[in-house]
Amino acid sequence: MPQDPLLLTEQERILQRAVHDFADNVLAPRAGELDEREEFPWENFRGLADMGLLGIGVPEAYGGAGGGFRESSIATEEIARGCAATSVIYGAHLSLATQTIARFGSDALKARFLPALAQGRRVAAFALTEPEAGSDVASLATAVTRKGDDYVLNGSKLFITNGDVASVYVVFATHDRALRTKGIDCLVLEKGTPGLAANRQSGKLGMRASSTAEVVFQDAAVPVENRIGEEGTGFYAAMQILESSRITIAAQCAGIAQACLEAAARYAGRRHAFGQPIAGFQAIQWMLADTAVEVDAARLLTRRAAVLKDMGLPHGTESAMAKLFASEAANRAADRAVQVHGGYGYFRGAPVERYFRDARVTEIYEGTSEVQRLIISRAVLQALASQ
């Protein structure tokens, strides 16, 4: 078991063992085929629900399992080790969309949506990015206009995970673009709302079993009570959610890197060259060693950010550090794993070829590596200025 047992409670070790086994027995054997077919893994999603993993971080009063980011990052790492695409679906559903409702929604919205989301009876999506606004969230253009007891939305979102399978959408829109961050509202929409449509975007490099979609609003009306938080607080909610969700992306990266390490070590033990297993060559040993160190470092940074978050302490810089380091470490781990496999690593059929493709997007979504460096460097400079 990869996590240092000293860092985990007994309950956390039980959770880790259960998800580890689920990943080995159920997720990993299906991952290659689902990737090939770009097929949403409904059975995996139901399996996560059956294990109670979709309820982590959701209060028990609303049908959840309680717990926090310590637990969700342990679960995410293990899920990603088995099937990275399933961990993307899990993160978008739980750490992004469900958490927005759980943390910022009214009691009525929580009662209406959380039980079904925590139990996996509905899938949720978090719709923030737009064709002309990704890193620069404050530039988003999807418009929300108040009309009597309704809000009416017009515009479109892009690259939305779970976008075409979701029945619950957490959507960010602006009632006044000139107000930039202070003009953004957050609303929850349901599938079947007239004027709401989703178009699947196929052809991704990796994470191919996760669905990604354009979500379009054409005079899509929702009741005013579907607003999450006060008017003008949507940007704040989105930043808070991304700050914590990055912890689970870091965990996802640790899981991908761990899968790379295991695959590379196994292959190095059975592949022979020059009359000996390639694991006997120092060049190969060093690649394994470097990955092992980086997986551990990624995991520890993730753990620190999760502990801070669960204690209610500031964790924005720490989650940015965890996400930045872990995503780049996952890409290095995947690169080394392909290298250890030689030509075999370059073809479909070798899981490392999939890990290599899956790892790439972790440096892009939920804040690119450049955005993480901005967050971290800002904190460094502020700390110096206040000395």
Ligand X SMILES: Cc1cc2nc3c(=O)[nH]c(=O)nc-3n(C[C@H](O)[C@H](O)[C@H](O)COP(=O)(O)OP(=O)(O)OC[C@H]3O[C@@H](n4cnc5c(N)ncnc54)[C@H](O)[C@@H]3O)c2cc1C
Residues assigned a catalytic role = 366
Task: Round to whole Å and give the CA distance between 79 and 63.
Answer: 22
Binder among 90, 126, 235, 355 for ligand X (CB under 6 A) = 126
Q: Is 287 in the site for ligand X (CB under 6 A)?
A: no
| Smaller CB separation from ligand X, 77 or 214 | 214
| Smaller CB separation from ligand X, 123 or 306 | 123
| Smaller CB separation from ligand X, 137 or 284 | 137
Distances (CA, A) of 228 to 222, 249, 263, 286, 334: 12, 24, 44, 50, 39
| Smaller CB separation from ligand X, 20 or 204 | 204
Binder among 22, 45, 151, 159 for ligand X (CB under 6 A) = 159
194-233 mask for ligand X (x: CB under 6 A)?
----------x--x----x---------------------
Distances (CA, A) of 184 to 84, 221, 226, 273: 32, 17, 15, 60
| Smaller CB separation from ligand X, 161 or 258 | 161
Residue 21 CA, chain-centre distance (Å), reads: 21
CB atoms within 10 A of CB 221: 19
Q: Is 364 in the site for ligand X (CB under 6 A)?
A: yes
Distances (CA, A) of 249 to 244, 306, 320, 340, 366: 9, 11, 10, 26, 8
Q: Is 370 in the site for ligand X (CB under 6 A)?
A: yes
Ramachandran angles phi, psi of 44, nearest 5°? -65, -45
Task: Round to whole Å and give the CA distance between 277 and 167.
Answer: 51
Beta strands 227-228 and 184-190: pairing type? antiparallel
Task: Name the segment binding ligand X (CB under 6 A); options: 59-67, 111-119, 332-340, 369-377.
Answer: 369-377
Q: Is 129 in the site for ligand X (CB under 6 A)?
A: yes
Task: Name the segment binding ligand X (CB under 6 A); options: 30-38, 55-63, 272-280, 368-376.
Answer: 368-376
Q: Is 3 left (phi over 0), alpha (psi -120 to 50) or beta?
A: beta
Binder among 45, 62, 355, 365 for ligand X (CB under 6 A) = 365
- Minimum distance of ligand X from residue 35's CB (angstroms): 13
| Smaller CB separation from ligand X, 52 or 234 | 234
- Comparing C-alpha atoms, which of 16, 5, 167, 7 is closest to residue 80? 16
- Minimum distance of ligand X from residue 165's CB (angstroms): 12
| Smaller CB separation from ligand X, 127 or 305 | 127
- Minimum distance of ligand X from residue 287's CB (angstroms): 27
Q: Is 160 in the site for ligand X (CB under 6 A)?
A: yes
Q: Which residues pair with 124 in a beta bridge?
A: 168
Structure tokens at 223: 């009741």
Ramachandran angles phi, psi of 41, nearest 5°? -85, 80
Site for ligand X in 304-363 (CB under 6 A): 361
Rounded (5°) CA angle 99-103-108: 105
Q: Which residue is nearest to ligand X (CB)?
A: 134
Q: Is 252 in the site for ligand X (CB under 6 A)?
A: no
Answer yes or no: are the C-beta atoms of 180 and 116 closer than 8 Å.
no
Q: Is 51 in the site for ligand X (CB under 6 A)?
A: no
Q: Is 99 in the site for ligand X (CB under 6 A)?
A: no
Binder among 44, 76, 156, 161 for ligand X (CB under 6 A) = 161
Binder among 23, 102, 117, 128 for ligand X (CB under 6 A) = 128
- Minimum distance of ligand X from residue 371's CB (angstroms): 6
Name, in order, each residue with C-beta under 8 angstroms of 254's C-beta and a sequence gap of 6 or more: 77, 80, 295, 298, 299, 302, 326, 329, 330
Ramachandran angles phi, psi of 121, nearest 5°? -80, -15
Q: Which residues of this protein are in contact with ligand X, per CB under 6 A?
A: 92, 126-129, 134-135, 159-161, 204, 207, 212, 361, 364-366, 368, 370-371, 374
